[in-house]
Amino acid sequence: MNTQDFFTIDDIAKTLRVTRQTVAKFIKDKKLNAIKMNKSYRVHNEDFETFINQNITVAETKPIYYKKSRNCFLEYENKSDIKETLYSSQNSRIEKVEINHAKEYNKFIFGDNLLVLKQILNDIINKVDLIYIDPPFGTGQEFSNMDRDLAYSDNLVNHQFLDFLRKRLILLKECLSEKGSIYLHIDKKIGHYVKIIMDEIFGYENFLNDITRLKCNPKNFARNAYGNYSDMILFYAKKRDYNIWNEIKEPLSEKEIEKFFQKTHPKLGRYTTNPLHAPGETLNGDTGKEWNGLMPPKGRHWRYSRQELSMLELQGLVEWSETGNPRKKVFAKDHKGKKIQDVWEFKDRGMSYVSYPTEKNQDMLKRIILNSSNENSLVLDCFAGSGSTLIMADKLKRKWIGIDSSIKSLEIVKKNFKEHNIFCNYYSILALD
């Protein structure tokens, strides 16, 4: 079995049900092979597996280990190796091009993101809270703007495209902080293969959502098939349950407000009413006593103390039904919004309205950034295109790094940043071989 992944010391301690000190001793005694990465040790899956197989004393943990690593794997020719991708050396240098501020981040690096990521990995390892990427989709097409200026060529297809992505994902995983997460935007032709690659790299157990994004108006295709008006966003945590999650809510639609709040108050707008009592009897407490000449119905208790009930009445928030039942007025304007589900409608603007051919919807990026990062978090987009992620990250007071290898992208990013009054330091990678 080859899960091609790394474990932290904590992961191993948890899996083996031993202390971190015991794991450290295994490493010190050279029983367990570990690699030092930015001050902390990591153990490759294969090394961990060898260790488990050689140590009879921990044999009972084998099932736990195998359960944890039960991913599916995609086999294809010349599949890149994780260690090789992480540790192969390269001869390149990052050069300053234009410095506009003194901050550490908020920078755009022009060049191939594989070279750039390898070069900056040590500086950002475990530091990035949010990655959003929208790579080419392996379509074999060229993408130009309305003026027919070429933006970029998406010329890697099939397994070559998958391996191109795999190499970048291997490096991106290392950049993520313990509370970090990654969103990968892809189409539905190749996206299911990408899911398997991401399961391998980030771990099946860290998969959070496959978000269906409605990208345009319904299409009227001639072919014998359903219209295709959605793409997908694969969402993974570096470590499930530890990822930043701000639970941003979605406001109710007009239709939902009309449906759930059928009455109208002349000043406060739409409202509905809820019972002031709830199931369960209070035997001796205040909520079981008479209020306004009324006892709670049998088997129920008042939801509020009698003092609070009187206060609600004073504020005009109690409505009496025809049968003499008090109910609390609940206003649509006070509704906190609803839980966001995994189908999103964020249509992209048409070609004639955007400066870059595959520019993504800013409101969609806003949702992602608000939910999965905090103010001052570091956000990374290494397929930056028009800089849409970076612009939104900046607006929301996040730190950011953008990378792209297209001259057109660099040109549009500069233009967009100027329009949005965003200060950016520009760099470029120089391959020295």
Q: Smallest distance from the beta carbon of 430 to ligand SAM, in angstroms?
A: 15
Q: Smallest distance from the beta carbon of 210 to ligand SAM, in angstroms?
A: 19
Cα gap 29→393, rounded to integer Å = 46
Cβ nearer to ligand SAM, comparing 136 with 203: 136
Cβ nearer to ligand SAM, comparing 8 with 416: 416
Beta bridge partners of 318: 328
Extended strands (E) in 297-374: 300-302, 318-320, 326-331, 343-345
In the block, residue with structure tokens 């009227």: 220
Cα gap 316→275, rounded to integer Å = 15
Cα gap 383→406, rounded to integer Å = 9
Site map 6..35 versus ligand SAM, x via CB under 6 A: ------------------------------
With CB under 6 A as the contact rule, the residue among 124, 359, 380, 427 that binds ligand SAM is 359
The sheet carrying 207-214 orders its strands as: 92-98, 425-431, 107-110, 399-404, 378-381, 128-133, 176-186, 230-237, 207-214, 343-345
Q: Smallest distance from the beta carbon of 219 to ligand SAM, in angstroms?
A: 19
- Longest CA–CA span in the chain (Å) reads 90
H/E element, 131: strand 128-133
User: If binding means CB under 6 A, how many residues of this protein chain bind ligand SAM?
Assistant: 19
Q: Which two tokens stand for residue 290?
A: 């008479």
SS3 130: strand
CA nearest neighbour of 379 among 132, 173, 112: 132
Q: Smallest distance from the beta carbon of 429 to ligand SAM, in angstroms?
A: 10
| Under rule CB under 6 A, residue 108 binds ligand SAM | no
Cβ nearer to ligand SAM, comparing 112 with 313: 112
| Under rule CB under 6 A, residue 377 binds ligand SAM | no
Q: Smallest distance from the beta carbon of 164 to ligand SAM, in angstroms?
A: 7
Only segment of 130-138, 202-210, 263-271, 338-346 that touches ligand SAM (CB under 6 A)? 130-138
Which is it for the CA torsion 366, 370, 373, 378, positive or negative? positive
| Under rule CB under 6 A, residue 416 binds ligand SAM | no
Q: Which two tokens stand for residue 426?
A: 């520009």
| Under rule CB under 6 A, residue 85 binds ligand SAM | no
| Under rule CB under 6 A, residue 152 binds ligand SAM | yes
Only segment of 132-140, 267-275, 290-298, 314-322 that touches ligand SAM (CB under 6 A)? 132-140
With CB under 6 A as the contact rule, the residue among 71, 181, 358, 425 that binds ligand SAM is 358
Cβ nearer to ligand SAM, comparing 318 with 410: 410
| Under rule CB under 6 A, residue 113 binds ligand SAM | yes
With CB under 6 A as the contact rule, the residue among 161, 383, 400, 417 that binds ligand SAM is 383
Q: Report the relative pairing of strands 128-133 and 176-186 from DSSP bridges.
A: parallel
Cα gap 42→28, rounded to integer Å = 13
With CB under 6 A as the contact rule, the residue among 7, 183, 356, 427 that binds ligand SAM is 356
| Under rule CB under 6 A, residue 404 binds ligand SAM | yes
With CB under 6 A as the contact rule, the residue among 26, 27, 136, 392 that binds ligand SAM is 136
| Under rule CB under 6 A, residue 145 binds ligand SAM | no
Q: Which two tokens stand for residue 372?
A: 């999965």
Q: 207, exposed or middle or buried, with CB in 10 Å at 0-12, 13-18, 19+?
A: middle
Only segment of 268-276, 300-308, 401-409, 415-423 that touches ligand SAM (CB under 6 A)? 401-409
Residue 309 near residue 292, CB atoms below 8 Å:
yes
CA nearest neighbour of 10 among 34, 60, 208, 70: 34
| Under rule CB under 6 A, residue 161 binds ligand SAM | no
Q: Which two tokens stand for residue 273?
A: 């009413």
| Under rule CB under 6 A, residue 406 binds ligand SAM | yes
Cβ nearer to ligand SAM, comparing 276 with 368: 368
Binding site for ligand SAM (CB under 6 A): 112-113, 134-136, 152, 356, 358-360, 383, 385-386, 388, 403-406, 409
